[in-house]
Amino acid sequence: MGETEPMTDHVFTMTTRMHAELERLEARRRVLSFQVGQGNETAEVELDQVEDQLGRIRRDLERAALAAEEAQLRAEADAAAKLEADRQAQAAQLEALRAAQLASAADVEAATKMLCRALDALLGLGKQAYALTNGQRHMLGQRHAEAYLTWKLGEVMPRFAGMAKPDHAQRRPLTELLTGQSEHA
């Protein structure tokens, strides 16, 4: 597009001069036509020359208009091509992001399946411990597992399932929650 701007400026200056010359020659043509009509034979030769000049100027003006139109069409085509290239690049980037997102989703699904199996085993063991301790609820571990998962999942998904954040004392590794002991003690 940078190439067309100097050309456009040049064409504008050139056509402005041509229009001024065209007006001057048209005025001269009127005068000469009148003189030829009055029988002035020398005016006829000059009239032919003026009409030839007018023809050349009109042709040059038409060429300048065509050149300006072509420059505009090329600039528009260049802009459209750039827009299409940008659109294609964005589509390719989106396709790559979507593929990575789907791969991550598969990883989340696999990890969730493993988590569900591990939670099922943990809660099953908690039920057994509950039965052996004559119903001591803390042995179930369900509240501890919920607090732990809410804490950990809340780090990456703050509004995870609308669960309230657990108390700060509950924000510890699950093994500490179940034993009531701190690994750091």
Over residues 62-118, the pLDDT tens digits come to 998 899 999 999 999 999 999 999 999 999 999 999 899 989 888 989 998 999 999
**Cα–Cα distance measured from residue 178 to residue 173, given in angstroms and rounded to the nearest whole number:** 9
* 13 inside domain: yes
pTM above 0.75, yes or no: no
Tell whether 175 is covered by a domain: no
Count of domains observed in the chain: 1
* pLDDT computed for residue 1 by the predictor: 45
Specify if 171 maps to a domain: no
The verdict on residue 59 lying in a domain is yes
Domain of 80 in residue numbering reads as 4-102
Structure-block tokens of residue 38: 């009055």
Q: Is 159 domain-assigned?
A: no
Band (pLDDT 50/70/90 cuts) for residue 177 is low
Q: List C-alpha distances in Å: 147 to 115, 125, 141, 154.
A: 15, 18, 10, 10
- 23 lies in some domain: yes
pLDDT digits (tens, 9 = 90+) for 5-37: 555 565 567 778 888 899 999 999 999 999 999
